[in-house]
Chains A and B, each alone.
Chain A
Amino acid sequence: MMTMHTLPKLIELEVGQVIGATEFLLTRDSLVRYAGASGDFNQIHYRDDVAAAVGLPGVLAHGMLTMGAAVQVAVDWVGDAGRVIDYQVRFTKPVVVHPTDGAVLIVTGTIGAIDAEANTVRIDLEAVFEDAKVLGKAQAVVRL
């Protein structure tokens, strides 16, 4: 099944406009799945004993999983994963994933800048876990 997605029109956009928000549930299953898909098998992402041994508060989500999930807010808005041409984040806080409850990541996308000449829009992403931002300077430039 496929639905046609209409591309946002640059002229109708303004800086500060919220383009979407998504709640992601990151469970231990999500971490195992991401480990397999990415090839990052660091044990701090699936073993409580190892996480504790290196002084962590618990098993952590891969930073790259948080980064990869967060950008989906921009991808969904533009309707095409191939239109994200530049994406950067800073990892500011770890996401601790509870063994049964997981971790809820709330991502909100806001228009940060509009470049009419290049026909691109910068989406600023805010990723919040337990009332604290876990990504800094999370910006995705999308081509319209």
Chain B
Amino acid sequence: MSFQVPIGPQHPALKEPISLRMTVEGEVITDVDIRLGYNHRGLEKLAEEKNWIQNIYLVERICGICSHSHATCYVQGVEKLMELAPPRRGLYIRYLVSELERIHSHLLWLGVAGHEAGFDSFFMYTWRDREIVMDLLEMISGNRVHYAINTLGGVRRDLDEGQKAKILEGMVTLRKRSEYYFHIGANEPSFVGRIAGVGLLPKDKVVALCAVGPTARASGWARDVRKEDPYAVYGELDFEVATADTCDVLGRVVVRVKELLESYKLCEQMVRNLPAGDIAVKAPRKVKPGEVVSRYEAPRGENIHYIKANGTDKPERLKVRAPTLANYPATVEMLRKGFIADIPLIFAAIDPCICCAERAVTLVKAGSGEESVVRMSDLRRQAIARHQNAPVKRNAVWPL
């Protein structure tokens, strides 16, 4: 198997143009080729022409769903290069926004997983609840999606008592709703039957292919940068790394629901223990020559930024390794033994995301090399039809 990755520094996720090339034998996939580059914008090169402050807003726009992850990862690295120590209140607010972003991203993903499995009311439920956390983010930062709260040396906005109370109130509602999702999962055999045993990825394969984030944790590999290399405030907070050992899409759903509950806990701790003081320190305009690697646990997995400075007010090199890129080899492995009808579900499970008109899957018949192009929406219809005829998996259980 050979595939090229001409990918720019961007994060392919929801409704992103991407092409998958599968080789199939009957209904079973034997080979997969992922074509990338439709979304390549040349962002790493562009970063070399902008100064340190301007680049915060540029890297924030790598991805709209984990915009804060990229901005924080970059800011962490530059602060290390500048030898700046942001005030503790600033750090707490920065990582509070991080956890709120994780909540919004996981709720979004749960909805998408429900949609791909043919459970559209679940999609509407989670997206309704996601608006709660979007409102909190808008209240804290003034924007729904690109928060722009980070700056070199701290954050740009402070929290007051009223906002703290509102965040705690929101967490209570969200926890109640998440427990309801647990209840749905445990009592809906058709949903569990649809996602159990799909997209298997054993633990040894996860380690060999270096999968990250919930994809790795769903196969029993407890890898989380927040725990194994605690940065900033995570060393002083109490949380657990969520794992599952079913190695399939069911495991990935369970890991994300568990992580939601851990994030509620983290948010409450950070709001209650918010230290007093300043929110930012002044940052110098230029950086001494040097290089740094910054790691950050984004909602989708480990995010790495490599930054090289040459003594001017602009970076010499910025390299971004987004978590979805790290998960592509694992996705190919997951798809390989699966059915055509499971493609949308498996592909959505690593969280790059859903069907769109211009995202087509090319099916190559293994024998003749004959190609046919199928839309994701048609695949989804095929998947629903196939599972309506298939018997319910009686042995599949919700593992919580």
Note whether A and B form a binding pair: no
**Footprint of B on A, CB under 8 Å?**
none
